[in-house]
Amino acid sequence: MKPRTQQNIRSNHPFAGRRAVVIGGSIAGLVAARVLADHFDEVDVIERDGIPDDLREARKGAPQARHLHGLLARGERILNDLFPGFTEDLIRDGAVAYDFGVGLAWHHLGAWKPRFETGVQTVCMTRPLLEAHVRRRTFALPGVRRLDEREVVELSASPDRSRITGVVVRRRGAPGGVEELRADLVVDASGRGSRAPAWLEALGYGRPDESTIQVRVGYAGRQYRPRDPAELPWTSLYVLGSPSDSRRFGCIAPVEGGRWIVVLAGLFGDHPPADPDGFLEFARGLPNDAVYRALLTAEPLTDVATYKFPAHLRRHYERMARMPEGFAVLGDALASFNPVYGQGMTSACLQALALGAALEEQRRRAGPGAIAGLARRYHAAAAKAVDLPWQMSTGEDLAYPETEGRRPRLQPILRWYTGMLHRAAQVDREVYVRFVRAMHMLDGPEALLDPGLFLRVLRAGRSASAPAVAAAAPARRQPAGA
């Protein structure tokens, strides 16, 4: 690896003259590197894949990139804070932005959601385009270095194993070529398949506890070219049933190049197939046939890609009795969620902010350059950041009787209230806006529990009985197929 010259190294950072290493150069690794660049002179991002600058296709290390990647508004805002002008750049490259309430026709629980301006913007693009932009902006930062086609095979530790001191890296295709890269902080962002639990066990720390909620989701995605998108009364289409009548969901989202990405998914083994006829047939079996009818009018551009996702998974590093210093875990390696809820990238952004805040606090309390205590401080903060998306997505999935996992004691009450909230959101605009803001993680769950809203929800939720709601038409224009 090319050594750095002193001229390249800035010395005004809290950890001046020191280096952080990030394992994995996907979304979580990149946003972590962006935050670390404010605190360390050198940040090295080690990625197994060789990734072209103009990434346009899914790559081996992130096969999920063939599927729709919705970016929640909170994640988009964080990316714009980290990389000013981020959304404008995406839109210049063809991403499609719209108001969530205006552009999206959403069929949920047997009814169309109201259509009106909510003030919550959504931006749609392919995952490779999004990742290419995050990469470009991250590696433009001084001190951040990309080390592609290298695999971290082990952590290195101090002789007493109390501290992680770097990583052992194997260069892909270079026989026997392993080398050690020293670092003051190692951040593992290597995804759900992270080997950190095994690495920590080998160092004598044991493995973190894990929480899993089994949902057995099957995904199938395909790109289409719409024939006449301007004629359609929606920009994006989303169909989702209720635990009592369906295990399926379908979504059409516009992406760069005038294309659609279509995703069909099913829970508990009701999986969409990879053959084109079966794909269409699955769409016909959604709780509403709007997606199916839209697909009949569009031209397929790709094969059908499938993906299986067994379970929500959360690793509780914050609960470990002992933890080595100089080590942090972030992104899917820490928590991975049923992708139907589109939370993974936003959760990674929230954890990156938690890392930045922990570094700030570390400096205040322990002084510049002191790393002792950071691992515990960060993992406690990251666990808090994960709580919100975890409770939201697992809470929805635990409503299905087939879901395997521990149900919180308050689950029946929460389900009852969520059911009322969903129904109230069909008929009460204020409730819908609050619901959309919470879903996009712009507000915490407390915003859905304030007493004023609670009364509205009870009133509107009671009056909007499910069959009456099912007959209601969207407020703006009738979505195709509705």
Ligand X SMILES: Cc1cc2nc3c(=O)[nH]c(=O)nc-3n(C[C@H](O)[C@H](O)[C@H](O)COP(=O)(O)OP(=O)(O)OC[C@H]3O[C@@H](n4cnc5c(N)ncnc54)[C@H](O)[C@@H]3O)c2cc1C
Q: Is 157 in the site for ligand X (CB under 6 A)?
A: no
Q: Is 62 in the site for ligand X (CB under 6 A)?
A: yes
Pick 189 or 460: Cβ nearer ligand X:
189
HEC states along the chain? Answer: CCCCCHHHCCCCCCEEEEEEEEECCCHHHHHHHHHHCCCEEEEEEECCCCCCCCCCCCCCCCHHHHCCCCCCHHHHHHHHHHCCCHHHHHHHCCCEEEEHHHHEEEEECCEECCCCCCCCEEEECCHHHHHHHHHHHHHCCCCEEEECCEEEEEEEECCCCCEEEEEEEEECCCCCCEEEEECCEEEECCCCCCCHHHHHHHCCCCCCEEEEEEEEEEEEEEEEECCCHHHCCCCEEEEECCCCCCCEEEEEEEECCCEEEEEEEECCCCCCCCCHHHHHHHHHCCCCCHHHHHHHCCEECCCCEEEEEEEEEEEEHHHCCCCCECEEECHHHCEECCHHHCCHHHHHHHHHHHHHHHHHHHHHHHCCCCCCCHHHHHHHHHHHHHHHHHHHHHHHHCCCCCCECCCCCCHHHHHHHHHHHHHHHHHCHHHHHHHHHHHCCCCCHHHHCCHHHHHHHHHHHHHCCHHHHHHCCCCCCCCCCC
Q: Is 37 in the site for ligand X (CB under 6 A)?
A: no
Pick 327 or 431: Cβ nearer ligand X:
327
Count the residues of the shown chain that bind ligand X, applying the rule CB under 6 A: 36
Min dist CB 330 to ligand X, Å, is 7
Q: Of the ranges 171-179, 240-248, 330-338, 387-395, which one interacts with ligand X (CB under 6 A)?
A: 330-338
Pick 149 or 430: Cβ nearer ligand X:
149
Q: Is 128 in the site for ligand X (CB under 6 A)?
A: no
Pick 13 or 74: Cβ nearer ligand X:
74
Q: Of the ranges 26-34, 354-362, 363-371, 416-424, which one interacts with ligand X (CB under 6 A)?
A: 26-34
Q: Of the ranges 99-107, 185-193, 350-358, 399-407, which one interacts with ligand X (CB under 6 A)?
A: 185-193
- 257 phi, psi to nearest 5 deg: 80, 20
Q: Is 40 in the site for ligand X (CB under 6 A)?
A: no
Per-residue x/- track, 293-322, ligand X (CB under 6 A): --------------x-x-------------
Distance between first and last Cα of the chain: 59
Q: Is 191 in the site for ligand X (CB under 6 A)?
A: yes
Rule CB under 6 A: choose which of 19, 24, 317, 434 binds ligand X: 24
Q: Is 439 in the site for ligand X (CB under 6 A)?
A: no
Pick 169 or 290: Cβ nearer ligand X:
169
Q: Is 166 in the site for ligand X (CB under 6 A)?
A: no
Q: Is 389 in the site for ligand X (CB under 6 A)?
A: no
Pick 121 or 162: Cβ nearer ligand X:
121
Q: Is 346 in the site for ligand X (CB under 6 A)?
A: yes
Min dist CB 70 to ligand X, Å, is 4
Amino acid 268 reads F
Q: Is 440 in the site for ligand X (CB under 6 A)?
A: no
Q: Of the ranges 335-343, 365-373, 390-398, 447-455, which one interacts with ligand X (CB under 6 A)?
A: 335-343
Pick 62 or 298: Cβ nearer ligand X:
62
Rule CB under 6 A: choose which of 33, 35, 36, 46 binds ligand X: 46
Min dist CB 344 to ligand X, Å, is 2
For residues 252 and 275, give the distance between their C-alpha atoms in angstroms, rounded to a whole number: 18
Pick 82 or 348: Cβ nearer ligand X:
348
Residues that bind ligand X (CB under 6 A): 23-29, 46-49, 61-62, 64, 67-70, 151-152, 189-191, 219, 307, 309, 331-333, 339, 342-346, 348
